[in-house]
Structure 1
Amino acid sequence: MAPTSVRGLLLCGAAIIACGPAFGQDSATGTEDPLLLDTIVVDSQREVATDTAVPVTRIDSEEIQDRQAGSVAELLDSVPGVTLVNGSTATGSAINIRGMGAWSGTYGSDQSVLILIDGATVGGEELYRIGTQLYTDPALYKTAEVVRGTVGSFEYGSGVIGGMVQFETADASDFTGGAPGFRARQTLGYDTNGHGRLSSTILAWQPSEDLEFLANYTWRDLGRQEDGDGDDLGAEGTEQPSWLVKGTWHFGAARDQSLTLSYSDTSISERDVPYDQFGTTDFGNVDRDIRSRTAVLSYEWDPASALIDTEVTLSHADQDIESTAIVPGNPLLDADPRYRTTKLTAKNTARFDLGATSHDLVAGIEFSRRDRTDESSAPGGIDDRFALFVVDDIRWRGFTLTPALRYEDQRVEGKGQYADDEYENDALMGGVSLRHEWDNGIAVFGSAAYTEGLPIIDDMANPVYMEQPQKARTYELGASYASADVFGPGDALALKVNLYQSLVWDITAYSNVSKIELSGLEIEAAYSMANGFYADVNAAFAYDEQLSPETATGYWSQEPADQLRVGLGKRFGETYDLKWETVYNFEMDRATTPTDESLVHNVGLTWTPQDGRLAGIELRARVENLLDLDYRQHLATRDAPGRNLKLSLARTF
């Protein structure tokens, strides 16, 4: 898309926001309530978001517990369009969404995948031979949400091409039910492959309805894992303690205000391990100590007025990676990168009617500072940003029109050898989506979006890149269906299909590449019956090309393999939940390093007795790679783990 066309799109979006009343005047019958349909609940393991044009997948607390993921990255690999570069350990893993994100074997991030924890921006630095730096534990969270592509990202950041991952930590009221009292939850777990051990202790206390406090301490360790042939994977074992404290105070005459403070801390110590966390190059071994800390203070005010629903969030994320070379001589091995991101976001949601239209208008402002030390592995500097954003959901007779705009201004100052370098950039970006739903449950939607990734501290060594934002535009088209009593009484079906095409140019994240085209198809489906049977299906198919400069193949090196995932389950009341899942990774020959097809089976059982002495116990057993297949997922630098029996026992007191 030419720049002129892009600016035209953004100006049209701004005009739509400003002219809401005129849009409503198209109604021949005057004001009326928006078309509201009954919510369709599919009783499967995962909800399909058929009520939005945004390609989003939400993993709730029940699925987090059932999957028993050993790392946060591993928790996300069941989402269509998400591919892990390794992933079974907290170190050396990286996330690829729609062919963007991880730079296999070199960097864990390319800045086009945004990661948020309770609103705090974490990880994502382009540190050489180090993963995404998402050092945290799945046990700390109650939800994980993946937004694929650019649409839906303008409220949260710029340069989002692959997608966005949002984690939400647990609250005390999730365990107390919102009533005064004290609850405790203990979880113990064991993995056979690598002899992994887990202990997670949660204490939740509500002295009153207005106050709640939560403390979580999780300890996890994992030894060296083996592949399907019994060979060592090459990933070092780790010991990972994590803890979280969180408190919320509700106040005001109508309890319409709240103040929440949370702090999480994860530490990892490794001794005499390869510097290269991907295991592709032997630079030598190091002693490495990693610490990741995130603090978030948020204020919410939601009075009776529909025009006021305010949220102010102050966050600080601090990641520190200290390495000491076992054999001195290579300065890379002694690099101690530390990066701290402080961010203040204030936004308000106003709900109102204009003519025949109903609006949910979100407007906000954001200030952020990223401060990174200058090291031999990566340049240091300070990146200050200021942003304004506005997103409006406009509903009228089954239509939902959502224009969005974001303006971002940046100032970067170098450190060390780049101490005299300063750069300033700004960008206007945005998009619009349109969705229409009929009363039979069928909906169609489409969107167009444009974003710019402003220069990053990592590119201080290249002055050209520091004055050249990376640009991308994305078109999406899809349809969804949600209905009950489809094939028989008491059943429910939800289905969503999404086509996308992205063009990325003025590329700064990759060497010797200036233009990439990403295109693909994503499918999500869920079905349940009254007798407890359920099914989950998702699939992702991609076709990516490196358009410039011309190469012999035209392949995009980060294109993921096509994948189909099918899960069939049966619930027996509230006591048993049995599920079989198969994952088919298609052969990938559009690559300089092809990978074969693979068919992997996983089986899971959850047992929660409802009466007797064992009432309240939660026993989970899950076997991953049931047939002990020896395979390597495309883009990974190591073989996948072989058969792994995961057991966990939990109880809330």
Structure 2
Amino acid sequence: MTTFRNFLVAGTALAVIGSGQALAQQPARAQPVTAAASPKKPATVTLLDRIVISATMLNEAVIDALAPVSTIDGEQLSRTQAATVADIFRTTPGVAASMNGDDPATSINIRGLEQYGRVVVTLDGARQDYWRVGHGSGSFYVEPELLKEATVIRGPVSNAYGSGGIGGVVSFQTKDAGDFLNSDERWALSEKLGYESSGRGFTTSTTGAYRFSDDADVIGNLIYRSRDAYEDGNGAVVPWTGENVLSGYLKTTLRPADGHELKLGAILQNYEDFVTGSSGSPSPTLSRYDAETTNQTYTAGYTYLPDDNPYVDLSVNFYHNRTRAEQTQVWPKAQIGNFRY
């Protein structure tokens, strides 16, 4: 009897142990299959747009920025294929970039503010302060082929980029050789051609870059554009709208030691066109001038950012910018004269 009782207890214990193992294994069999483990449902990856905050020249969270910032990067510039700088800002909120058909200069209006330095325009850190007396806004000259990106900062916080910029800042950055060359390329050359049927003319843009080593490279660009006066929707020729443009750009980057970087750049631009007697005004009753404008921008930027010292972040920028315009009045014929600015 005792033997039978012991055998019954042992059998009951085995049954309990077996049922416990079954209960322990059951959740493992019931676990759902994740999307990553299933070959039929690949994991979904969400890609966010790049966020650039530079309103105060410091990296900060978007919620902490005191001004809205818009960045037009290289991919957007390539997709837009802008013929003028004004084309770049067509979809930028709060920004109006205006150009007159007879003047290659561009003026920027941010939230209704312009003129008298209210909007600061910089090219590789060099302020573009050309001004011609009249009813138009301040003007600047730059070719979109040169640009790597453009940053628009709205509001008075932009004073960090220059005194008086209460309306905002438009900061242009030109291309480096590293933006043009792939990581495994030593040199590259590209050619862009364009033709216009209205105002028959063509555009040629040649860009080349060479990497001497990881510590030295150079990039250059040459643009020539020639256009006749274009026609309006009715087929009538719009007078004074032809132009000739020649622009050259050269930039070299040197890295003499770890953490040190020196960039030297030069931009030379020459425009031959007809302008009105008042900057930016399209009025047909104003005097017309045969104008030759030369813009020169020279920049030198040095940065020191050592990897082993988080407290050192030095950036120094030197620049020289000069714009010279020579104008000869061609209409009305009764008043002929030469003017220089």
For the residues of structure 1 that align with 2:238 and 2:52, how far apart are their CA atoms? 35
* Residue 70 of structure 2: aligned partner: 57
Structure 2 residue 101 is matched with structure 1 residue 83: no
- Point out the structure with the larger helix share: 2
In the alignment, structure 2 segments of 5+ residues that lack a partner are 1-44, 54-60
Superposed, 1:170-569 pairs within 5 Å as 170-179=175-184, 181-233=186-238, 236-252=241-257, 255-270=258-273, 274-276=276-278, 277-280=280-283, 282-303=285-306, 304-326=308-330, 334-337=338-341
Which of the pair has more CA radius of gyration?
Answer: 2
What amino acid is aligned across from residue 120 of structure 1 in structure 2? A
Change (3 A) 1:291 1:114: same
- Point out the structure with the larger strand share: 1
Structure 2 residue 149 is matched with structure 1 residue 143: yes
For the residues of structure 2 that align with 1:231 and 1:293, how far apart are their CA atoms? 36
* Residue 134 of structure 1: aligned partner: 140
How many residues in Structure 1 have an aligned counterpart in Structure 2? 285
The answer (yes or no) to whether the contact 2:227–2:242 under 8 Å persists in 1 is yes
SS of equivalent to 1:155: helix
Match of 1:119 among 111, 122, 125: 125
SS of equivalent to 2:86: helix
* Residue 31 of structure 2: aligned partner: none
Cα-to-partner distance string for 1:197-223 (whole Å, 9 max, x where unaligned)? 221111100111100011110112333
Structure 2 residue 107 is matched with structure 1 residue 94: yes
Cα-to-partner distance string for 1:110-151 (whole Å, 9 max, x where unaligned)? 321100000000135252256643122110111111111212
Cα-to-partner distance string for 1:289-309 (whole Å, 9 max, x where unaligned)? 100110001111111211111
Change (3 A) 1:237 1:81: same
The answer (yes or no) to whether the contact 1:129–1:275 under 8 Å persists in 2 is no
Change (3 A) 1:57 1:188: same
For the residues of structure 2 that align with 1:42 and 1:223, how far apart are their CA atoms? 44
Change (3 A) 1:302 1:93: closer
The answer (yes or no) to whether the contact 1:222–1:238 under 8 Å persists in 2 is yes
For the residues of structure 1 that align with 2:154 and 2:199, how far apart are their CA atoms? 32
TM-score normalized by the length of structure 1: 0.40
Change (3 A) 1:188 1:179: same
Cα offset, 1:41, TM superposition: 3.6
For the residues of structure 2 that align with 1:315 and 1:178, how far apart are their CA atoms? 30
Cα offset, 1:81, TM superposition: 0.7
What amino acid is aligned across from residue 297 of structure 2 in structure 1? T
Cα offset, 1:315, TM superposition: 0.3
Cα offset, 1:42, TM superposition: 3.6
* Residue 495 of structure 1: aligned partner: none
Instruction: Percent identity, please.
Output: 28
Cα offset, 1:51, TM superposition: 2.9
Change (3 A) 1:48 1:248: closer
Cα-to-partner distance string for 1:508-548 (whole Å, 9 max, x where unaligned)? xxxxxxxxxxxxxxxxxxxxxxxxxxxxxxxxxxxxxxxxx
Cα offset, 1:89, TM superposition: 6.5
For the residues of structure 1 that align with 2:221 and 2:206, how far apart are their CA atoms? 6
Change (3 A) 1:286 1:235: closer
Cα offset, 1:82, TM superposition: 1.2
What amino acid is aligned across from residue 128 of structure 1 in structure 2? G
Change (3 A) 1:197 1:139: same
For the residues of structure 2 that align with 1:251 and 1:72, how far apart are their CA atoms? 35
The answer (yes or no) to whether the contact 1:243–1:265 under 8 Å persists in 2 is yes
SS of equivalent to 1:251: coil
* Residue 83 of structure 2: aligned partner: 70
What amino acid is aligned across from residue 247 of structure 1 in structure 2? T
For the residues of structure 1 that align with 2:180 and 2:106, how far apart are their CA atoms? 31
* Residue 165 of structure 1: aligned partner: 170
Cα offset, 1:259, TM superposition: 1.0
